[in-house]
Amino acid sequence: MEKNKQKTLFEMKEVWQEEWEDMPEYSQEYQGAHRTIYLHFRNQTDVDEFSKLINQKIYPKYKSYWFPKMEVKEVKNIRYVDKPATEIKKIIIDEELKPIYIESKFTGGHYALKTKKATKAFENPMGVNKSIEIKPTDIIADIGGYIGEYSIWASKIAKKVYTYEPTPNTFKILKMNKKKNMEIYNYAVVGDDKKTVNLYISQGIGATNSITKTIRKKGNIEVNAIKYEAAIKDATVVKIDVEGAEYEYNIIQPQIRAIILEFHPIPGKPWQEWARNIMTDLEKNGFKPIAKKPEFKHGWDLTGSWAR
């Protein structure tokens, strides 16, 4: 008696059509290279010259590059909604965030955001922020306020605090942390006259959401915007942490006596040169470094403070 033999895929009847009924249509264009060329360099100087030609940084461990540069698209957080084919849209799925109350020596206690995978809520490092002494007559502008940690601390002494946070989910937590002398605004602060702007969303708690686009963002939303000069109003102390948008601001204004500023790397841009130009302008306008000037040696060496 012949044993039962498992049929191969090509021997089976084409019954998949029945299973596929009412499933969405799908097609994908060829994503491979039109042509691949291997290059050899005699020395690092040649590598650097080639890097300039293609306008891409050549990393020691990278073995291939696309020209022009191809932006990597993340699909793990994307799904399709159940609509007719003409209306199908990609929807960004926000990671579930949980607001929890935490004890803090810096703020006295506040609500913070925690992801499902994290063991504790995120807290911003505030070392340099404390280097500027707050006076009872000060009006503070906290640009990129996130959930309001610096604003809460400053509000204990300052006359008034303006806090700007563009991300809707984060702004909800900022509302929970608001103090009496804080004015909070769900706006992105920009260097021009735009009334709305795209906000690029990062993974997780949203601490690195930015109006400056980078490859690590997972999507974008449109948010209201306000010009820098209008945002700071009559502020005497300004804290800026805006993930790359700082280079677009006309930072130095007549009424400002102190500035706390975090610079952010922007891949493919001369951001360090821009940052050093800003620091030079600060000192030319009478601002002296209070905390150690950033030298950009590592990720925790990006923030400085100046006063006049």
Closest CA to 209 of 195, 198, 194: 198
Residue 1 has pLDDT above 80, yes or no: no
Is pLDDT at 7 greater than 80 in this prediction? no
- Between 3-17, 29-43, 180-194, 241-255, the lowest mean confidence (pLDDT) is in 3-17
Helices (H), 55-194: 149-155, 168-177
Single-letter amino acid, residue 127: G
Task: Tell me what percent of the residues of the chain surpass a pLDDT of 70.
Answer: 81
The DSSP element (H or E) to which 17 belongs, if any, is helix 16-20
Structure tokens at 221: 């939303």
Q: What is the CB neighbour count within 10 angstroms for residue 89?
A: 7
Cβ burial of 231 (10 Å; 0-12, 13-18, 19+) is buried
Rounded Cα distance between 305 and 284, Å, is: 15
Beta carbons of 200 and 210 less than 8 angstroms apart: yes
Range of lowest pLDDT (1-15, 124-138, 272-286, 288-302)? 1-15
Compare 105 and 260 and report the one with higher pLDDT.
260
| Sequence-ordered list of residues with C-beta below 8 angstroms from that of 154, at least 6 positions apart, any chain | 134, 138, 140, 142, 161, 237, 239
Most confident of the following: 12-16, 168-172, 228-232? 228-232
The residue-averaged pLDDT of 252-264 equals: 97
At position 129, the amino acid (one-letter code) is: N
Quick one: pLDDT band at residue 196, thresholds 50, 70, 90?
Answer: very high
Over range 247-263, report the average pLDDT: 97
pLDDT of residue 31 exceeding 90, the answer is: no
**Taking 90 as the threshold, does the pLDDT of residue 93 lie above it?**
no
- Residue 96 confidence (pLDDT): 60
**Cα angle at 15 between 12 and 21, to 5 degrees?**
155
Predicted local confidence at residue 131, as pLDDT: 96
pLDDT at residue 209 is higher than 80: yes
Residues recorded for the chain: 308
Q: Which amino acid is at 213?
A: K
**SS3 category, 135:** coil
Q: For residues 250 and 229, is the Cβ–Cβ distance under 8 A?
A: yes
Q: Which residues pair with 223 in a beta bridge?
A: 197
> Do residues 280 and 293 make contact, with C-beta atoms less than 8 angstroms apart?
no
Pairing between β-strand 90-92 and β-strand 78-80 as defined by DSSP bridges: antiparallel
Q: How far is CA 80 from the centre of its chain?
A: 25
163 and 176 in contact (C-beta within 8 Å)?
no
Q: Mean pLDDT over residues 230-259, rounded?
A: 96
- Tell which wins on pLDDT, 218 or 103: 103
Q: Give the integer Cα–Cα distance in Å for 294 and 135.
A: 25
276 — pLDDT class (breaks 50, 70, 90): very high
26 vs 204 pLDDT, higher one: 204
Q: Sketch out the chain's domains with CATH numbers.
A: 33-70 (no CATH), 97-307 (3.40.50.150)
pLDDT tens for 32-88 read 777 888 888 888 888 888 888 888 888 777 778 888 877 665 555 545 444 443 433
Please give the average per-residue pLDDT across 255-262, as a whole number. Answer: 98
- CB contact at 8 A, 174 and 124: no
